[in-house]
Amino acid sequence: QVQLVESGGGVVQVGDSLTLSCAASGRSVSIYALGWFRQAPGREREWVAAVNWNGGSTYYARSVKGRFTISRDTAKNTVSLIMNSLKPEDTAVYYCAADRNGGGVPGLDSAYDYWGQGTQVIVSS
């Protein structure tokens, strides 16, 4: 089993930056694809970004491309999400997820086997 714990959420102003981190434990996720999702109040969970097993390929939702950066640190068993130029519509609970097969569609939540509990991000205007 893999446990995922997110951190780094908080309340920021429009235009600010914030970095989320997700630490995996239980086993190495070095061969897993990793992703970030978010869920705003009253809305369905949506995919944000994903990175393949070796960090060589990254994928982004159109709404965050150019503003967010996903990266992984295999040695530390972590994945991060650097969020720049934050907007009020980025307000959500952010979840990290792990795909143990590494071959699923990056943006499809059913491809992921493990999920964290989430960390709240509030972008205040």
| Residue 70: per-residue pLDDT | 97
Q: 14 near 125, Cβ under 8 Å?
A: yes
| Residue 105: per-residue pLDDT | 81
| Residue 96: per-residue pLDDT | 98
Averaged pLDDT for residues 80-96 = 98
Alpha carbons 66 and 101: distance in angstroms, whole number: 27
pLDDT greater than 80 at residue 21: yes
Averaged pLDDT for residues 56-80 = 96
Averaged pLDDT for residues 102-106 = 79
Averaged pLDDT for residues 87-92 = 98
